[in-house]
């Protein structure tokens, strides 16, 4: 306020007037009416009120910050925790597993920014600080996944005109493959671990992951007895993680010989006195995800077996099976049976094993010393022998040809010398 007057300065977007949003074009004129009313204490003109009510929430909040208008309760900027909880609740189309991921992203946001932080005060620089804060405790891929969820939340806020831009938009969110965490778990190790499982269900959980290649827990815990056909040797697997893709959601795979004994054992335990089991009954009925942390218990079983745990405890079992099936039956069959694509298999599952190194060493030519004492391979020895025989035959043919030439050619005899003989003649200088 200068000399009893209020000075308001407005900055229009630096763009052509024809492409400028209509609500910007009336700001200087309408806002001057707000300033005049504030200065004189008079009522605001009806047209100015109508104009202010038609503005986006983002512009209303800017005018409110300048004390030119007062926001209604419905227009006030939501606080972070309130906004995020409302967004998660509105996502009724997603599965419970996705809600758990959303909840973890919410916890990281609230832990860093505070639950009462107004969402319009979070900047792109704040988002960078949040990412670095997460990387102190979690891996790069997990942090990227949390960033992807934050992008979804704040893009929704932009579409609802609560904020003008998403501060998380530049954060990388694509999850990549980490070769350092990939392991091949041999069948002998798994068989030993299965021997220390507490009951038939746990033995089957491990076998389904390693010998069936099922995604655990999502596919394992949706498996019902009606999905197993012992006579035809087939298993029908529900794929909750990819069912939103066209043509996906259910796949057919063989009842592998390594897996069959564990399924038969579980069936015999679950069957009634008549040897029947309800088709809709879940195969894994006791150790459901709600009964405890599956990975934690699996680590305990591994330690009891005297083995060392590995990262990505269930995913590496699936990756090990993918690697075996690809070698035994080819890429197409392995991918169809395990429900992924060759691109995904190469990026996340296929592993170079010790067996690969052993086979490569078996194919390496063995070196043996030759007559000169130098080491040569058997293949080189055979090749050398063949070349020597070829040269011997060639020399023999040349001699026979020369003898015939002496009988028929006039340019032969004691007075004639072949040019090839000159190579062996020493010429002395006089």
Closest CA to 12 of 25, 2, 3: 25
Q: Which two tokens stand for residue 358?
A: 């052993």
Q: Are 235 and 253 in contact (CB under 8 A)?
A: yes
Fold of the CATH domain 182-357: hpI Integrase; Chain A (1.10.443)
Q: pTM for the whole thing? A: 0.56
**CA separation for the pair 424, 278 (Å, rounded):** 98
**Helix-, strand-, coil-residue percentages of the chain, each rounded to 5:** 55, 5, 40
Task: List, as one string, the DSSP characters of 328-389.
Answer: HH-HHHHHHHHT--HHHIIIII----HHHHHHHHHHSPPEEE-TTS-EEEHHHHHHHHHHHH
**CA separation for the pair 23, 12 (Å, rounded):** 11
Measured in whole angstroms, how far is the alpha carbon of residue 245 from the centre of its chain?
Answer: 16
CATH class, 80-175 region: mainly alpha
**CA separation for the pair 310, 298 (Å, rounded):** 11
Measured in whole angstroms, how far is the alpha carbon of residue 175 from the centre of its chain?
Answer: 5
CATH 1.10.150.130 in the chain is located at 80-175
Place of tokens 């290649």: 213
Task: Note the pLDDT of residue 55.
Answer: 67
Closest CA to 220 of 290, 283, 308, 134: 283
Is the omega angle on the peptide bond into residue 60 within 30 degrees of 0, that is, cis? no
CATH 1.10.443.10 in the chain is located at 182-357
**CA separation for the pair 302, 300 (Å, rounded):** 5
Cβ neighbours around 84 below 10 Å, total: 25
Task: State how beta strands 250-254 and 234-238 pair.
Answer: antiparallel
Per residue of the chain (430 residues), give pLDDT as tens. Answer: 344 444 444 444 443 333 334 344 455 555 666 666 666 666 666 666 667 666 666 666 666 666 666 655 444 678 999 999 999 999 988 877 788 899 999 999 999 999 999 998 999 999 999 999 999 998 888 999 999 999 999 999 999 888 889 999 999 988 766 777 889 999 999 999 999 999 999 999 999 999 999 999 889 999 999 999 999 999 999 887 666 566 667 899 999 999 999 999 999 999 988 889 999 999 998 887 665 588 899 999 999 999 999 998 999 999 999 999 999 999 999 999 998 888 887 777 888 888 878 888 876 555 555 555 555 555 555 555 555 555 666 666 555 555 444 444 444 555 544 544 545 545 444 4
Q: Which two tokens stand for residue 260?
A: 């069959």
Residue 235 host element (H or E): strand 234-238
Q: Which two tokens stand for residue 32?
A: 């001057």
List residues bridging with 236 in a β-sheet: 252
**CA separation for the pair 23, 16 (Å, rounded):** 14
């Amino acid at each position: 306020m200068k000399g009893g007057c209020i000075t308001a300065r407005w900055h229009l977007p630096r763009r052509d007037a024809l492409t400028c949003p209509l609500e910007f074009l009336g700001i200087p004129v309408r806002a001057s009416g707000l300033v005049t009313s504030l200065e004189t204490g008079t009522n605001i003109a009806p047209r100015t009120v109508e104009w202010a009510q038609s503005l986006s929430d983002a512009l209303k909040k800017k005018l409110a910050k300048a004390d030119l208008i007062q926001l209604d309760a419905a227009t006030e900027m939501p606080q972070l925790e309130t906004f995020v909880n409302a967004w998660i609740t509105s996502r009724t189309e997603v599965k419970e597993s996705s809600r758990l991921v959303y909840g973890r992203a919410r916890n990281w946001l609230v832990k860093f920014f505070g639950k009462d932080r107004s969402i319009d005060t979070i900047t792109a620089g704040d988002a960078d600080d949040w990412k670095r804060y997460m990387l102190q405790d979690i891996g790069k891929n997990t942090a990227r996944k949390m960033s992807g969820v934050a992008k979804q939340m704040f893009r929704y806020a932009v579409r609802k005109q609560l904020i003008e831009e998403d501060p998380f938009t530049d954060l990388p969110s694509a999850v990549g493959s980490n070769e350092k965490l990939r392991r091949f778990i041999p069948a002998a190790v798994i068989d030993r671990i299965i021997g220390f499982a507490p009951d038939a269900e746990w033995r089957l959980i491990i076998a389904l992951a390693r010998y069936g290649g099922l995604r655990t827990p999502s596919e394992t815990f949706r498996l019902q007895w009606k999905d197993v056909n012992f006579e035809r040797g087939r298993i029908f697997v529900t794929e909750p993680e990819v069912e939103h893709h066209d043509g996906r959601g259910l796949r057919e795979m063989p009842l592998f010989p390594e897996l069959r004994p564990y399924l038969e054992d579980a069936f015999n335990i679950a069957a009634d006195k008549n040897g029947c089991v309800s088709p809709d009954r879940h195969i894994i009925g006791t150790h459901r995800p709600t009964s405890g942390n599956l990975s934690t218990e699996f680590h305990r079983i591994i330690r009891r077996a005297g083995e060392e745990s590995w990262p990505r405890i269930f995913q590496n079992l699936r990756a090990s099976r993918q690697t075996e099936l690809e070698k035994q039956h080819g890429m197409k069959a392995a991918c169809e049976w395990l429900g992924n694509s060759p691109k995904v298999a190469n990026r996340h599952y296929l592993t170079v094993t010790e067996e690969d190194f052993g086979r490569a060493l078996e194919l390496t030519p063995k070196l043996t010393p030759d007559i000169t004492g130098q080491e040569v391979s058997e293949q080189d020895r055979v090749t050398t022998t063949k070349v020597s025989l070829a040269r011997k035959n060639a020399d023999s043919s040349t001699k026979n040809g020369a003898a015939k030439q002496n009988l028929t050619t006039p340019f032969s005899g004691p007075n004639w010398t072949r040019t090839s003989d000159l190579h062996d003649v020493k010429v002395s200088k006089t």
